[in-house]
Amino acid sequence: MANYSEAHICQCLSRLATARRESVVTIDGSRQKTGVQFVEGVVGLAKGLVQLGIVPGDVVAISALNSDLYLEWILAVTYIGGIVAPLNYRWGLEEAKSAMDVAKPVLLVTDSSRGFWHSKFSIDSVPSLRWHLLMDMDVKPNETIFAAELMKEPIGNSANLDYVWAPERAAVICFTSGTTGRPKGATITHSALVVQSLAKIAIVRYDDSDVYLHTGPLCHIGGISSAMAVLMAGGCHVMMPKFEARLACEAIREHSVTSLITVPTMMADLINVNRTHQASGCFETVRKILNGGGGLSPLLFDDATKIFPRATILSAYGMTEACSSLTFMTLRDPTQESSEHQRPKDAKSSSLSAQGGVCVGKPAPHIELKVCAVEASSAGRIFMRGPHAMLRYWGQSDHSNPVQQGWIDTGDIGQVDEHGNLWLFGREKDKIKTGGENIYPEEVESFISLHPGVSKIVVVGVPDPRLTEMVIGCVQLKQGWRWSGSGSSNSAQDQANVLSSESLRQYCKDKNLTGFKIPKRFVLWKNEFPLTTTGKLRRDQVRAQLISQTQFLSSKL
């Protein structure tokens, strides 16, 4: 028998249908829905899913741009005990199939947007799929594709339907890349999402007066967890299909947006658009900005305070396996005297402040952290546990479960100072964080190494104020090939056995490597790559040599 005192993300619907009954809670272009209309959409869709044949424990994959319908689908699937598997629309087709091979969804839900992998997908290519359904209303149904509106019924016909749970209270399978670059699905529970949402409500201070702009994609844990927090707080959601700085600026002004999330790339683009259109001025209505995906550089931070003069700016450090944020830090609070400081005073006075690490603040109240170091005073591997932690990677056996006695290895190296702040000093592995996306260099290297002119390739990330890290490919050529540093793609394509940065980027595009994984620039590496005494690549030394080249870092791409 179901225990209805346990956390379920659909418990927020009761408040939306009553306290926010006549208030607008979603804005998607010209379409606006009140609290009761939104709830009717969720429950009616849930009823349709039951009639279709979805049962508790079934996985429903979603690939679509942000919309109010996407929010409804997340809640409707979990309402009836299904498990949502959001898929990144920016993936390549093979990457998406690989993720579905892991999740084994019975239903794939997409929108009718063109130019993404789901617009050229065939249901026959994934054995587990029984249905492929379009969530928007622009396409007529056929034997495998149905319009979502055909499944909706008035709420009165669904009055006897109550929410249930999937086995182990699983709610979402959120994909992240593993060390091999293949997608791994972190299994997130209802409790994890609710606890994470409550933490964000307490720390960021979301409430029912908030107008929240969806800048983050709903296929990422940051976008999902922040959406859940605003749903629980009863705020209004302003949807944009995907982040575009100009459209975001327009939405902020048109709808008097009060809160949004960013990664450094987004913040840089918002600043640049605002600088280009000087008549736009600053955004007075924005009061809360949560930045993740890498810290804001001093330059970005200073510019952000100018265009968002009344905003409290916070940073968050987290990971998909933790259902988003582990630690939070207030970078700026305009109501406090210390609003010009990027870090709290206790972080500035920390004994670790001069050691080259990055302070990421204190753990949220529900987070337990430990650092496994060789010596008590040294940095070590960071582990975390708590109700926010994933159950396991979906489809992996218990013996391969990375959750040991509740603890999960974050893969990062750090230390906790005398004030309780967590400091990061590097990554255990070589994951690159660029524009809010995770990239594993080994995956990109194996892809580019197939080019007939490439002898060796090493991919690293170097600091970048806009992207957090810029992906750079260091290339050694095979005999008989030569390098063109002109940057002209024509010369590389028209002449035999000539490579350039542009021609390698075009090669990646032609072979359908996911866009954000393509190196922004390739450089010719003339010396041997540095190795350890056992013959392993010293990727850190490659990265350090690139960073030391000031001319390289200041050059335009």
Pair (515, 399) in one structural domain: no
Find out whether 546 and 525 touch, Cβ atoms under 8 Å: no
Strands 312-319 and 324-332 come out as antiparallel
Pair of tokens at residue 341: 């400081």
Least confident of 136-145, 181-190, 308-317, 321-330: 136-145
Write the DSSP symbol of residue 307: H
pLDDT for the residue 278: 54
Least confident of 103-107, 177-181, 365-369: 177-181
Q: Note the pLDDT tens digit of each residue in 130-187.
A: 999 999 854 444 434 444 554 555 544 445 789 999 999 999 999 985 444 577 999 9
Pair (417, 529) in one structural domain: no
The answer to the question of residue 271 being in a domain is no
Q: Which of 368, 393, 427 is the last residue of a domain?
A: 427
The answer to the question of residue 259 being in a domain is no
Q: Which of 190, 207, 224 is the last residue of a domain?
A: 190
The answer to the question of residue 240 being in a domain is no
Q: Which of 367, 401, 427 is the last residue of a domain?
A: 427
Pair (385, 444) in one structural domain: no
The answer to the question of residue 393 being in a domain is yes
Pair (22, 162) in one structural domain: yes
Within 13 Å, how many C-alpha atoms sit on residue 255's CB side? 30
Q: How many domains does the chain have?
A: 3
> Which range marks the domain in which residue 414 is found?
343-427
Residue reference for tokens 């990422």: 220
The answer to the question of residue 335 being in a domain is no
Q: Note the pLDDT tens digit of each residue in 370-417.
A: 999 867 667 888 999 999 999 999 988 766 677 778 899 998 888 999
Strands 24-28 and 31-34 come out as antiparallel
The answer to the question of residue 96 being in a domain is yes
Strands 236-239 and 24-28 come out as parallel
pLDDT for the residue 1: 60
What is the band of 275 on the pLDDT scale with cuts at 50, 70, 90?
Answer: confident
Pair (462, 415) in one structural domain: no
Task: Give the whole-angstrom CA distance, residue 39 versus residue 37.
Answer: 5
The residues with which 370 forms a beta bridge, in sequence order, are 383
Average pLDDT over residues 67-82: 97
3-state secondary structure 135-147: CCCCCCCCCCCCE
Pair (475, 394) in one structural domain: no
Task: Give the whole-angstrom CA distance, residue 300 versus residue 307.
Answer: 11
pLDDT for the residue 546: 87
Write the DSSP symbol of residue 290: E
pLDDT for the residue 180: 45
Pair (468, 394) in one structural domain: no
What is the band of 102 on the pLDDT scale with cuts at 50, 70, 90?
Answer: very high
User: Per the confidence metrics, is the pTM higher than 0.85?
Assistant: no
135: domain CATH number?
Answer: 3.40.50.12780
At a CB cut-off of 8 Å and minimum separation 6, what does 550 contact? none
Pair (407, 444) in one structural domain: no
Pair of tokens at residue 61: 């994959």
pLDDT at 473 over 80: yes
Pair (72, 96) in one structural domain: yes
Strands 59-63 and 312-319 come out as unpaired
The answer to the question of residue 418 being in a domain is yes
380: domain CATH number?
Answer: 2.30.38.10
Pair (377, 467) in one structural domain: no
Average pLDDT over residues 262-282: 82
476-497 burial code (b ≥16 CB/10 A, e <16): bbeeebebbeeeebeebeeeee
Pair (420, 509) in one structural domain: no
pLDDT at 426 over 70: no
Task: Give the whole-angstrom CA distance, residue 468 versus residue 436.
Answer: 8
pLDDT at 335 over 90: no
pLDDT for the residue 123: 87
The answer to the question of residue 352 being in a domain is yes
The residues with which 380 forms a beta bridge, in sequence order, are 414
The residues with which 236 forms a beta bridge, in sequence order, are 211
Pair (423, 456) in one structural domain: no
482: domain CATH number?
Answer: 3.30.300.30
For residues 204 and 276, the model is more confident at 204
